[in-house]
Amino acid sequence: MIRACCIGWPVTHVRSPLIHGFWLKEHAIRGEYGPEAVEPGQVDAFLRSLADRGYAGCNVTIPHKEAAFAAMDEVDPGAVAVGAVNTVWLDGGRLIGMNSDVIGFLKNLDDHVPNWEREVRHAVVLGAGGAARGIVHGLLSRGVETITVANRSLSKAEAIAASHPSSLRVADWASVPALLADADLLVNTTSLGMKGQPPLDLPLDTLKPTAIVSDIVYVPLVTDLLARAEARGHRTVEGLGMLLHQAVPGFEKWFGITPKVTRGLWEHVAADIRGT
Ligand code: ATR
C-alpha cells in the first residue's frame, strides 16, 4: 500500500483527495491519499517524519507552501522562482520539492489554446501574490516578451518585477483598462471573483479582440470574468484545469504512473464544486 497526503491548515476543503482518488481507482493501484491537518510551526517536523508516518510524499497547500520550501533538501527551479513548494517526495530519505502550480498553469493553457506562445507577446497579469509569481515565471519560460503585473498594492508588483527587470512592467489597479488594448493574454491570479469574495470589477470593452482570457479561480467553474470574455468572443481558459494538471507530477512520483487529465476527471471534480 502506497500512501500520500495533502498538508494544510485548515485542510477540510481541499479537492486533491478527489483527484488522486479518481486516478488510484482508474489505475487499480493499492494506494491511499488523504488530508492531514498540520498546524503552522509544525510543517518542518511533519515533513521530516513523512517516511515514519508511512508516506511516500505529499502535496502542500495554504498556508504551508513557503515553510515547505524552507524544509526541502532539494527543489526544482520553478520552486526557487516562486519560493514555494506544493509537491514533495522522498528520494533516499532526502526531501525533494517542486512547484507544480507553474506546470499546471502552462499545461492548462496548452490544452485550451494550443500554440498560444506564437501569438502572446504581451501578457497582463492581475495580482502579485504567490500564484502571480509562478505564472510570471512560467510565461517567461515559454518566451513571452513583456508582462505587465497589475496589483492593488503596487509594491508587491514591483517586488516581482525586480526579479526580471527587462521583461516586466508594473501597473496600478486603476490603469488596467488602459492596458487591455495591448494585451494578448489576460490572467487573473487574484481571489476576486471567487465564491465568497468581491467580484473582479474590470470592464472588458477595451480588451484587444484577439486576447486570450484566463482565470485561476475555479469556484465558480465559470467566473464572471470568463463569462463576460466568452460573450465578447474571446478564447477563455478556466481555472479547474490548472488544479487538475498540477496534481500530475505528485501522482507520478508517489504511485509510479503518469495519470491523464481527462474530461471524466474534470466532470468528477466539477460535480463536487457545483454541489458546494
Ligand atoms: P496567492 O498566493 O494565491 O496568489 P495572495 O498572496 O493572498 O494569494 O494574493 C492574492 C492577490 O489577490 C493579491 O495580488 C491581492 O492584492 P494585494 O497584494 O493588494 O493584497 C489580490 N486581491 C485580493 N483581494 C483584492 C481586492 N479586493 N482588490 C484587489 N486585489 C485583491
Confidence (pLDDT) at 276: 76
The pLDDT of 137-156, averaged and rounded, is 97
| Contact call for residues 206 and 232 (beta carbons, < 8 A) | no
Question: Of the residues 191, 202, 225, 243, which should be mutated to test ligand 1's pocket, given the most ligand atoms within 8 Å of the CB?
Answer: 191
Q: Whose CA is nearest to atom 4 of ligand 1?
A: 129
Dist CA 240 CA 238 (whole Å): 6
CA of 17 to the centre of ligand 1 (A): 26
Please provide residue 96's backbone torsions phi and psi, each rounded to the nearest 5 degrees: -110, 135
**From ligand 1's centre to the CA of 153, what distance in Å?**
8
Instruction: In whole angstroms, give the CA distance from residue 158 to residue 128.
Output: 9
User: Are 38 and 7 a contacting pair, CB within 8 Å?
Assistant: yes
Residue whose CB lies within 8 A of the most ligand 1 atoms, among 190, 219, 243, for a mutation test:
190
Selecting among 25, 65, 195, 208, the annotated active-site residue is: 65
40 Cα to the center of ligand 1, angstroms: 21
Q: Tell me if 148 sits within 8 A of 125, measured CB to CB.
A: yes
> How many angstroms separate the alpha carbon of residue 193 from the centre of ligand 1?
11
Residue closest via CA to ligand 1's atom 26 equals: 192
Distance of CA 129 to the CA centre of its chain: 11
Ligand 1 atom nearest the C-alpha of 189 is: 4
**Which of these, 70, 75, 107, lies nearest to 246 by C-alpha position?**
107
Least confident of 9-13, 198-202, 239-243: 9-13
pLDDT tens digits for 177-219? 999 999 999 999 999 999 999 999 999 999 999 999 999 999 9
CA-to-CA distance for 15 and 217, rounded, in angstroms? Answer: 14
**CA 28 from centre of chain:** 27
pTM over 0.85: yes
Q: Which residues does ligand 1 sit against, CB inside 6 Å?
A: 127-132, 151-153, 156, 189-192, 198
pLDDT in tens, 97-109: 999 999 999 999 9
- Told to judge if 156 belongs to the known catalytic residues of this protein, a careful annotator would answer no
Which residue's alpha carbon is at the smallest distance from atom 5 of ligand 1? 129
Question: Ligand 1 atom closest to Cα of 133?
Answer: 4
DSSP state of 62: T
Which residue CA neighbors atom 18 of ligand 1 most closely? 153
For residue 41, how many other CB atoms are within 10 A of its CB?
9
Distance 191 CA to ligand 1 centre (A): 6
DSSP letter assigned to residue 86: -
> What pLDDT, on a 0 to 100 scale, did the predictor assign at position 12?
86
- Average pLDDT of the chain to the nearest whole number: 96
Contact 226, 236 (CB under 8 A): yes
